[in-house]
Amino acid sequence: MEALVCRKLGDPTLGLEDNNSPIILSRNHPIPQLDSPTAVRVRIKATSLNFANYLQILGKYQEKYPLPFIPGSDFSGVVDAVGPKVSDFRVGDPVCSFAGLGTFAEFIVVDQSHLFRVPQGCDLVSAGALAVAFGTSHVGLVHRAQLTSGQVLLVLGAAGGVGLAAVQIGKACGAIVIAVARGDEKVQLLKSLGVDHVVDLGNENVTQSVKEFLQARKLKGIDVLYDPVGGKLTKESLRLLKWGTKILIIGFASGEIPVIPANIALVKNWTVHGLYWGSYKIHCPGVLEDSIKELLSLLARGLISIYISHSYRLSEANLAFSAIKDRKVIGKVMIVFDEKLPRSKL
């Protein structure tokens, strides 16, 4: 089978044939075999490329992996083979899930307990983009911050994968959603999703724009801050938070880890939630399972949508990583295993 192999740490945007590239395309990689009676082999249809995958190959992710490894995270596909004690799935069933590694390949083997059936009416490629981005936002907003109707949600990096997920889940919860992004294309997309107020970093000051909106709506401040960006934007956003705000630390796409002053957090009774979604698989698997099932239901009913700005073949994986690195992605970038996929981005 074809598989993308990370053989050393480094920048994955180099060409796959470049001797200096940390990633190579293996065209004769062994197909994984069923390793337990309840194992299921899935022929992958689509796998999502998240910022975390980029960090994994750079060697800057919070978890380190022994080399060589096949990167990967959320995926969708069709059941290809099942173990003798598999009772939940049959060959041909459409499924999706997530994994720590291994999805940048044509096949993957997982236990049946880790798979989710894709409901009728769900696009399989969209299902492959669901788990990590929407799962992160759903667990963060619903389980951790307990966002409720009428509260004010401020989403930084709102046009990225987790950002677009956060604004949609925020609207589904009945929150008043303020989104921060850069560029007219991103702003227009966010407005089309029903966001209550959008700040364009290209020509607006965040503090001034948000304060004017809050004053016009007679709102006291931000109830929940959703922050996958970090850096200076976090520091500026802290000025908008009121007494009792809940802060969700999702990541640091800016490359700079922010400092949240403990003395101000004390005086204003802020609650700071660190959220490493992947660790829920170990510590709270039930929360993760319920969250993904709920998201699949929302997707099937058309209450959330997956925006995919870029799709590539596995042989173009370096271009997919370049789109992430150069911040060209709006929503999601996908690796799709489909011979009919055009070579240009979708």
Going from the first residue of the chain to its last (346 residues), give the mean pLDDT of each consecutive group of 10, the final group possibly shorter.
Answer: 95 84 94 96 96 91 91 96 96 95 97 95 92 96 97 96 96 97 94 96 94 96 97 95 97 92 96 93 93 94 92 94 90 84 38
**Fold topology of 137-279:** Rossmann fold (3.40.50)
Buried b (16+ CB within 10 A) or exposed e, 26-38: beebeebebeeeb
Domain ranges, ordered by start, for the chain: 3-130+306-336, 137-279
Contact 49, 129 (CB under 8 A): no
Spatial CA neighbour of 255 closest among 100, 13, 60: 60
Q: pLDDT at position 47, please?
A: 97
Distance CA(152)–CA(175), nearest Å, equals: 6
CATH class belonging to 3-130+306-336: alpha beta
- Tell me the two tokens of residue 225: 């801050």
Tokens 């956003």: give the residue.
237
Q: For position 339, what pLDDT does the model report? A: 52
Q: One-letter amino acid identity for 259? A: V
3-state helix, strand, coil in the chain (%, to 5): 30, 25, 45
The pLDDT of residue 340 is 55
Provide the 10 A C-beta neighbour count for residue 242.
Answer: 15
The C-alpha atoms of residue 298 and residue 304 are separated, in whole angstroms, by 6
Q: Please give the model's pTM, rounded to 2 decimal places.
A: 0.89
Distances in Å between the Cα of 156 and the Cα atoms of 93, 159, 205, 254, 258 are 37, 9, 13, 11, 13
Residue partners of 18: CB distance under 8 A and separation at least 6: none
